Amino acid sequence: MPKPLPMPRACVFDLDGTLVDSLCDIAESLNHCLELLGLSTYDLDRCRTMVGEGVPTLCERALGHTHSHLVHRLVELVRPHYRTRALRHTRPYPGVPELIGRLRDCGVRLGVLSNKPHESTVRVVEAFWSDGCFAAVRGYVEERYRKPSPHYLLRMCSGFGVAPADTWYVGDTATDIQTARAAGALSIGVTWGFRTREDLVAAGAERIIDDPAELC
């Protein structure tokens, strides 16, 4: 069993697949909009492999090369549709609220950094953590700063007054691991989300956990 990690000064989390299980809501919005365009839909297992890098990339993956000319239109449809139903099925993963509470009680500065559109990121976080325990919340705004860019993670660390080396970045995809490594934060992969342990190992995660209780 790995040795316990020393408590960080700051901990930043990915959102979808890490703090909350949002797959059903994302998949339903994607499939609804694909149907509007007269295109084939996807089951949850296939959607699981496509999410995690923002709406434009999700739409590119859903359309493939055959209908690549429809990417812009699908993005235009998916964003407002998802915005109206982001909380129909989405819930925190078991044990995550307790983990956030323990970290907060230990004085750890907390943040959320997601590739979900910023407005939806804020809405989901505030729906389940309305007490302001997350000092910084940032979703997708500009393509050039989409994860794995470390831009916003570094800005969060600066805002916290905490060095990246004293920060955990926790996520469920290779993109999250790459983000942490690019920023110089400790990369922690979680296996309860949208990717496999093998994906996290291949990405170079410095620690992999199977249950929120293993983190703190």
Provide the annotated active-site residues: 14
The residue ranges of DSSP E strands in the chain, in sequence order, are 10-13, 20-21, 91-92, 109-117, 136-140, 167-171, 186-190, 207-209
Beta-carbon contacts of 102 under 8 Å, excluding residues fewer than 6 positions away, are: 216
As to burial, measured by CB atoms within 10 angstroms (0-12 exposed, 13-18 middle, 19+ buried), residue 137 is buried
- How far CA 111 is from CA of 64, 157, 180, 197, in Å, comes to 34, 9, 13, 24
